[in-house]
């Protein structure tokens, strides 16, 4: 009986390690290859680098403008997450706490957006953004990211605001607190755990956007976001044969995200899984 369990234990560890290796190996390979010379990469993909060649990294950072794209992504995502959270939280608060005519209609208008594939909107969206004079601008991307994140954000936060105790809000109103102050000084602080989860969820999904910038940010390369820059680097690498630069570029993009994830993994995991469990 005992031995049988021992075997089961070894077996389960075996399977788990196998998948762990399968997950880590490509990433580790990318990281190690980012230090290799192109000749080394071609000669044997499994070998270790002869030296730590950080010039690959600097070539990717400035030569392939990955640094610039990284900063562009930061600017866009900082703006879009802030805007999403502000608009999502205010709308969700109204839906959760106030009664007015047509509330259901507006609420379902928002939440309905969860179901639609973004592809359908792509062509007209291109023209909506262009006609608004926002084509190829960060402002355009920020507004679009925020608009497409509202369905989930509103849905999640409305449910969250509903769970907060009403007694506190009523007490504050009785004490003569205005509706605006009530929101900013009482409700927002109470909703912090929910806000953080949604913010992380939105941060990752905006940071990883590819389709929307690809359509709305064609042309002017200096404004591209990271995903576009990496895709272009991958295409160029095919012509130039500079594999090390591509691996360095990918590593530059991966390392900060993985570090943030490892530091905040519980919030990230709960934020992302809550995102699916709607």
Partner 1 sequence: MRHGKYPLIVTFLVPPVLLYVIFVVSPYLQAFQISTTDWLGYSADANSVGLANFKTLWNDDYVWNALKNNAILLALVPVLTIVLGLFFAAMLNMGGRKGRAGVSGVRGSSFYRTVYFFPQVLSVVIIALLWKEVYHPNKGLLTSALNSVGLGAPTWLGDPRTAFWCVLAVMIWSNVGFYVVLFGAAMSAIPKEIYEAVMLDGASRLTTLWKVTIPLLWDTVQVAWVYLAIFALDGFILVQLMTNGGPNFSTDVIGVRMYDTAFGSETKFGYASAIGVVMFFLTLTVAVLALRASKRDRIEYS
Q: For the segment 199-228, give every residue that binds partner 1 (CB under 8 A).
A: 204, 207-208, 210-211, 215, 226-227
Contact mark string toward partner 1, 38..57, x via CB under 8 A = ---xx-xxx-----------
Q: How far is the CB of 171 from partner 1 (least distance, A)?
A: 12
Q: Which is nearer to partner 1, 85 or 223 (CB)?
A: 85
Q: How far apart are CA 12 and CA 258, in angstroms?
A: 26
| Using rule CB under 8 A, residue 254 touches partner 1 | yes
Find the binder of partner 1 among 8, 171, 240, 263 (CB under 8 A): 8
| Using rule CB under 8 A, residue 113 touches partner 1 | yes
| Exposure class string for 188-223: b at 16+ Cβ within 10 A, else e | eebbeebbebbbbbbbbbbbebeebbebbbeeeeeb
Residue 31: CA atoms inside 13 Å, Cβ hemisphere, count?
9
Q: How far is the CB of 220 from partner 1 (least distance, A)?
A: 17
Q: Which is nearer to partner 1, 117 or 165 (CB)?
A: 117
Contact mark string toward partner 1, 134..173, x via CB under 8 A = ---------xx-xxx-xx--x------------------x
**The two structure tokens encoding residue 75:** 């600017």
Q: How far apart are CA 33 and CA 133, in angstroms?
A: 43
Q: Which is nearer to partner 1, 100 or 239 (CB)?
A: 100
Strands (E), the chain: none
Q: Which is nearer to partner 1, 223 or 253 (CB)?
A: 253
| Using rule CB under 8 A, residue 111 touches partner 1 | no
Contact 92, 158 (CB under 8 A): yes
Contact 245, 33 (CB under 8 A): no
Q: How far apart are CA 32 and CA 244, in angstroms?
A: 10
Find the binder of partner 1 among 75, 172, 188, 272 (CB under 8 A): 272
- Check the CA dihedral 246-260-154-130 and report its sign: negative
* Span of 74-82, 116-124, 160-168, 186-194 interacting with partner 1 by CB under 8 A: 116-124
């Amino acid at each position: 009986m005992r031995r049988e369990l021992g075997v089961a234990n070894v077996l389960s560890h075996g399977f788990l390690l196998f998948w762990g290796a399968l997950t880590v190996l490509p990433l580790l390979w990318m990281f190690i290859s980012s230090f290799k010379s192109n000749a080394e990469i071609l000669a044997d993909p499994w070998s270790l680098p002869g030296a730590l060649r950080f010039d690959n990294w600097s070539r990717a950072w400035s030569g392939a403008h990955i640094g610039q794209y990284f900063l562009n992504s930061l600017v866009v995502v900082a703006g879009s997450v802030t805007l999403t959270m502000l608009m999502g939280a205010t709308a969700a608060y109204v839906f959760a706490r106030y009664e007015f005519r047509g509330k259901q209609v507006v609420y379902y208008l928002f939440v309905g957006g969860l179901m639609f594939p973004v592809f359908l909107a792509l062509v007209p969206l291109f023209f909506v953004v262009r006609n608004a004079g926002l084509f190829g601008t960060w402002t355009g991307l920020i507004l679009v990211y925020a608009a497409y994140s509202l369905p989930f954000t509103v849905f999640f936060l409305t449910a969250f605001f509903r769970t907060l105790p009403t007694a506190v809000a009523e007490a504050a109103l009785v004490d003569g607190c205005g509706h605006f102050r009530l929101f900013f000084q009482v409700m927002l602080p109470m909703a912090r755990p929910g806000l953080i989860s949604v913010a992380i969820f939105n941060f990752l999904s905006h940071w990883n956007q590819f389709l929307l910038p690809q359509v709305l940010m064609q042309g002017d390369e200096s404004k591209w976001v990271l995903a576009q820059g990496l895709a272009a680097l991958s295409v160029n690498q095919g012509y130039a044969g500079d594999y090390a630069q591509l691996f360095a570029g990918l590593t530059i993009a991966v390392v900060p995200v993985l570090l943030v994830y490892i530091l905040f993994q519980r919030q990230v995991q709960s934020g992302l899984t809550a995102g699916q469990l709607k």
